[in-house]
Structure 1
């Protein structure tokens, strides 16, 4: 098949300094004219192929496109492929797949089985148990990514943590993957300030013709500014049942925990108080008690009662 021959020619070009049309024609048992057509097709696909005339001439891939495996150890190659694989587990981007295949092509043939074994032993999945990729979120990601690349504004309806559903126009700056979800760091035209929007909460998303302002701070600068603000953490003491002990190790450091003789665990830590932390505490159900501060104990008690009243 032609596609198999084209792929084989690309791999040969990646692994050799140059190769003549006659050598390729003999290798694949086709005419030299066919090889020239194949080279033209490969070049049109975006792989820059040049040719050199003379006795030592032939086709070769331009150096600024080709990676010389002599500059990379096997561990280097494994690390690059692993990083690309992990990135693509989040992005699901064809361009990342192509980059990964390019690096794989320069791994020495006698080392490929060892590399394949390594990737069977190590697997990275960014989704929580029981979840699968949302095609709807992938579509939103592609729209926002296109807007970021093209420096275009976006419009969408957004449901915030207060339950408000508001039309927003925003200047997208950076896509952020955090805590199993995609966010877009933007300048919100409604609030006249920087905001981070969660893609799953965005509806009727579309790109606007208006260009993004070029003088916006980066996400890294924003995080530094946000972290430098005087957000005073609250000291909290939580008592967990022995049945919740396995979850405690997922969220709290060992030095914050005290194990009691009856199997229960007391955690003394600091938190930034908001609705999200209330939901985390409530997720432990009957297996947690807020010991202090009193006002959070009261809030959790009231929320628990409201939940209980629903089932009466």
Structure 2
């Protein structure tokens, strides 16, 4: 998160005499070019950051400068705390809590009541009802995060969607939180290709004494390339009136057409994958795939298999 990184950089500059672009890039796991852009953004906000060249060089803030509340507006502070609360909801990390406290400490005294009132009326929880954080999954997260910081490979046993239980050795790239679960995007040595692993399916996770190839791509780069390669599929769905209350949670108003009999037609585009099939099946008898015929057949076969289980 850029604003959180900028805030952390400013705090580091206030607490240290000088710090190099390379050191900042390694700490925040971004490129040196990104750090230079961050410094430009900090300068534009009114904080005078100076760059000194040479062996003893680095960035520093002028000695006669004192940070004031103009660096962040009151609305900025609320946005930062809201974002950090989102993160803390899925990640047990004391650094997130510390960052929130730092932001709260620079809120003007005459605004504290307004700030407290804002979060009294708004509670942020990105997790579904009944969801509980897994301590085991959090422990796995910490091991992988440590491996990422040390630029080391990890090994684990993994049970895939086919039920196979296989030992894996991977070069970790990115931790991803999606759909209420943590995943690891990494380069798999066994498959010699990039793979996404769900943390809850990992066992015997350990850091290996083997360095990661520095030229592995990130999940963001992989996802962007994958989305460009995959063309969206046009799909038409017919929902019963009983499912009507859920439809607007997932689809844009422009894609929804309400019929006189109470049923609803949704015409939209999706990236076709297992998630789409699961989403359709989650509506049970409350939805019918009208087209394309291929997806209609896939849902039909899945429903047959489900029906066979209960015979």
Please, what TM-score do these two structures have when normalized by structure 2? Answer: 0.73
Aligned to 1:184: 184
Q: CA deviation at 1:95?
A: 1.3
Check whether the contact 2:89–2:127 (CA below 8 A) recurs between aligned residues: no
CA 1:271 to 1:113, structure 2 compared with 1: closer, same or farther past 3 Å?
Answer: closer
The answer for the alignment partner of 2:251 in structure 1 is 252
Q: State the SS of the aligned residue for 2:298.
A: helix
User: What is the aligned partner in structure 2 of residue 166 from structure 1?
Assistant: 166
CA distance in 1, matches of 2:291, 2:81: 48
Q: Decide whether the 8 Å contact of 2:90 with 2:133 is kept in 1.
A: no
Which residue is 1:149 aligned to? 149
Q: Using the alignment, how far apart are the partners of 1:127 and 1:134 within structure 2?
A: 13
User: In the alignment, what sits opposite 1:135?
Assistant: 135
Size of the aligned set, in residue pairs, is 250
Give the match for residue 83 of structure 1.
83
Q: Are 1:269 and 2:268 counterparts? A: yes
SS at match of 2:175: strand
SS across alignment from 1:243: helix
Structure 1 residues 295, 87: closer, same or farther in 2, change over 3 A? closer
Cα separation, 1, equivalents of 2:191 and 2:250:
33
Secondary structure of 1:117's partner? helix
Could you tell me which residue of structure 2 aligns to residue 108 of structure 1?
A: 108
Does the 8 Å contact 2:185/2:194 carry over to 1? yes
- Distance in 1 of aligned mates of 2:67 and 2:197: 38
Partner deviation per Cα, 1:69-111 (whole Å, 9 max, x = no partner): 3533333333333332322223221112122212222223343
C-alpha displacement at 1:243, in angstroms?
Answer: 0.4
Long gaps (5+) in structure 2: 1-13, 15-61
> How many Å apart are 1:264 and its aligned residue?
0.7
- How many Å apart are 1:183 and its aligned residue? 1.6
Q: Which residue matches 1:9? A: none
The CA deviation at 1:141 is: 1.0
Q: What corresponds to 2:206 in structure 1?
A: 206
Larger radius of gyration: 1
Q: Tell me, what secondary structure is at the counterpart of 2:272?
A: coil
| More deviation, 261-270/289-298 | 289-298
Superposed displacement of residue 303, structure 1: 2.0
Structure 1 CA distance for aligned equivalents of residues 86 and 270 of structure 2: 31
Relative to structure 1, is the Cα distance of residues 260 and 159 closer, same or farther in structure 2, using a 3 angstrom cutoff? same
Whether 1:281 and 2:272 are equivalent positions in the alignment is no
- Aligned residue for 1:306, secondary structure, equals helix
Give me the whole-angstrom Cα distance separating, in 2, the residues matched to 1:127 and 1:233.
28
1:181-220 per-residue CA deviation (whole Å, 9 max, x = no partner) reads 2222211111111222221222221111111111212222
1:144 Cα offset (Å): 0.9
Q: Secondary structure at the match of 2:155?
A: strand
Q: Structure 1 residues 109 and 270, CA, compared in 2 at 3 Å: closer, same or farther?
A: closer
CA distance in 2, matches of 1:199, 1:186: 12
Cα RMSD, aligned residues only: 2.4
Specify the alignment match of 2:38 in structure 1.
none
Normalised to the residue count of structure 1, the TM-score between the two structures is 0.73
In the alignment, what sits opposite 2:233? 234
Q: CA deviation at 1:261?
A: 1.3
**2: distance between equivalents of 1:79 and 1:63?**
30
Structure 2 Cα separation of the partners of residues 83 and 305 of structure 1: 43
1:22 matched residue in structure 2: none
